[in-house]
Structure 1
Amino acid sequence: MYFETADGTRLAYEDHGQGAPILFLASWVLNADMWEYQIPFFVENGYRCIALDRRGHGRSDRPRDGYDLDTSADDIAALLEHLDLRDVTLVGHSMGGAEAARYLARHGEERIARVALVSATVPFLKLTDDNPGGLPEFALQAVLKQWREDRPHWFTRQKQIWFATHLGNQVSESQIELTLQQCLSASPWATAQYFQSGYHTDHRPGLAKISVPALVVHGAADASAPVALTGRRTAELVPGAVYKEYPTGGHGLYITHKHQLNDDLLEFIKS
């Protein structure tokens, strides 16, 4: 299914099941397909599951611009209005979590019942005077330079780290290769633009104003979004947030820890 945003971009989404709505927001360079181990579980438990392909990803259009978190937040708002969804649970992984946070900051909580930030790249990644634990600009530029030389090779090098297989997490080679191909399917232009927007966006003011129930889930072994910079700090910023940290979880815990994650999400939604 498709809908059009304010600038005429055609975005794809999936809509399964009936009941209270859950909107799944995918990781950077991934799309709605990443939630294949979550959506059937929640449909079977009586929920309506919607999953969005952001612009430049999956089946959605690849427009000239709009590859930033403010536009992503506005695209989410357009989808919620298109479907007239209310009492929504937002579940965002990685940059999807950043998009959820940005949506709440820009559009408020009128349509939102609760939010779950899973391995989210918030609150602020950039090294600044008031964010001494952040990552320096040269690190961002180094990654961009590697992509201009050989983007597929960079992602191939990351595939084992993504799942923290060195800690004994069991992931088949087929699953790893599928995830790699999903990552490489995103528009190269969108890949770089979103990466830069995620690095430069400061979510701290917005997170501190969240008043709906919030769940923060993060892996202690997350190499893509180090837990000390992201998950733990986010849990401290969001008032009353429930925090769960998976000791062996990497960034891809939606696969390696799918049963635990599904159970934790379900418990949170029911509570």
Structure 2
Amino acid sequence: MDVFTASDGAAIAYRDEGAGRPLVLLHGLMANSAFFEPQRALVDGFRVILIDLRGHGRTARGDTPPTVARLADDVAELARALDLRNALVVGWSLGASVLWRLLTGPASERFAGAVVVDMTPCVQNDGDWTLGLDRDHCDARGQALAEDFPAFAATAGAAIFAQPLDDRTEPMARWSAAEFVRADAGAVASLWGSLVAEDFRGALGRIGQPTLVVHGAHSHLYDAATAAHIVAALPNGRDMQFDRSGHSPHLEQPERFNRALRDFAASLPPVHTSELTF
């Protein structure tokens, strides 16, 4: 993998391969860029850019506790360094929150479209909001992260697939659990706190890029109502449900997911690259 030096001196690991419309893939909490291995097949038509976010994979957490905003800054700075234009950005779980930060900031003009994978715009339920996780659930996750990170991470890694596991997904779950445990516990705890504090509900209406909202019918975190809310709030959103998937449709149904990316990218209008300012 290559290394990009962020504005605060942190070394961000990434992979840049293929040619065509840039496809930026942002992984979930405790995962890493290897969770998009099936999407590397898209190098035949895209410039595929895989990033290990801070505290994940080959990227260290840095000198200060990472936040969603800092991760978005990293991606924005990398997009500028690589001079990405007309890009399609895919954000899975945590990566979707990073995506929403990107598309409501100055780097937005570098992106022609977005794909949100199984995420809510507001993680913690409050008042009338019930499309995230209840406060007790959020608090319990934070406590488990602090008390026994390896046990929590292993369980969370196995849970991203539709249950019960079958002969195909059971080895994937074992691999995912082991990869989750490798994440930096301090970075994960900081990012979990940042995720719980974020609220993108009011920001969705400002995202002009066409957005495909993907969700797994058997996700243990978010349901079809969450995806429907996002689509309704976006100026240009559409929904796609993956009937045999849990929280990770890109891993569980990769052929359909990749085909959806190709079709969605083909429907995007080009961006006026001559007017880029970021």
Normalising to structure 2: TM-score of the pair? Answer: 0.89
How far residue 107 of structure 1 moved from its aligned partner, in angstroms, is 2.3
Q: Which residue in 1 is equivalent to 2:136?
A: 138
Q: Which residue in 2 is equivalent to 1:149?
A: 147
Q: Hey, what's the Cα distance between the residues in 1 that align with 2:129 and 2:219?
A: 20
Q: Which residue in 2 is equivalent to 1:204?
A: 201
Q: Hey, what's the Cα distance between the residues in 1 that align with 2:106 and 2:46?
A: 24
Contact 1:169 1:256 in 2 (8 A): no
Q: Which residue in 1 is equivalent to 2:271?
A: none
Q: Which residue in 2 is equivalent to 1:56?
A: 55
**Structure 1 segments unaligned to the other structure (5+ residues):** none
Q: Which residue in 1 is equivalent to 2:117?
A: 118
How far residue 92 of structure 1 moved from its aligned partner, in angstroms, is 1.1
Alpha-carbon spacing, 1:137–1:64, altered in 2? closer, same or farther (3 Å): farther
Q: Which amino acid aligns with 1:257?
A: Q
Q: Which amino acid aligns with 1:5?
A: A
Deviation per residue, 1:125-165 (Å, 9 max, x gap): 22223524443333222112223332222233344432113
Deviation per residue, 1:22-73 (Å, 9 max, x gap): 111111111111111011x2112x2110011111111112213241111111
Q: Which amino acid aligns with 1:95?
A: L
How far residue 20 of structure 1 moved from its aligned partner, in angstroms, is 1.4
Normalising to structure 1: TM-score of the pair? Answer: 0.91
1:165 to 151, 154, 163: 163
> Which one is further off, 142-151 or 177-186?
142-151
Q: Which amino acid aligns with 1:208?
A: G
Q: Does 1:15 align with 2:12?
A: no
> Which one is further off, 62-71 or 259-268?
62-71
Query: Identical aligned pairs, as a percentage?
Result: 29
Q: Which residue in 1 is equivalent to 2:102?
A: 103
Q: Which residue in 2 is equivalent to 1:33?
A: 34
Contact 1:163 1:171 in 2 (8 A): no
Q: Which residue in 1 is equivalent to 2:251?
A: 255
Q: Hey, what's the Cα distance between the residues in 1 that align with 2:8 and 2:28?
A: 23
Q: Hey, what's the Cα distance between the residues in 2 that align with 1:174 and 1:131?
A: 36
Q: Does 1:68 align with 2:67?
A: yes
Q: Write out aligned runs for 1:172-187 (5 A).
A: 172-187=169-184
> How many aligned positions are there?
266
Q: Hey, what's the Cα distance between the residues in 1 that align with 2:169 and 2:241?
A: 24
**Structure 2 segments unaligned to the other structure (5+ residues):** 268-278
Contact 1:170 1:256 in 2 (8 A): no
How far residue 172 of structure 1 moved from its aligned partner, in angstroms, is 4.3
Q: Which residue in 2 is equivalent to 1:42?
A: 42
Q: Which amino acid aligns with 2:15?
A: E
> Which one is further off, 182-191 or 104-113?
104-113
Once superposed, what is the RMSD of the aligned Cα atoms?
A: 1.8
2:237 to 218, 241, 258: 241
Alpha-carbon spacing, 1:135–1:84, altered in 2? closer, same or farther (3 Å): same
Deviation per residue, 1:170-220 (Å, 9 max, x gap): 534332221111111110011111112112101112211111111110012
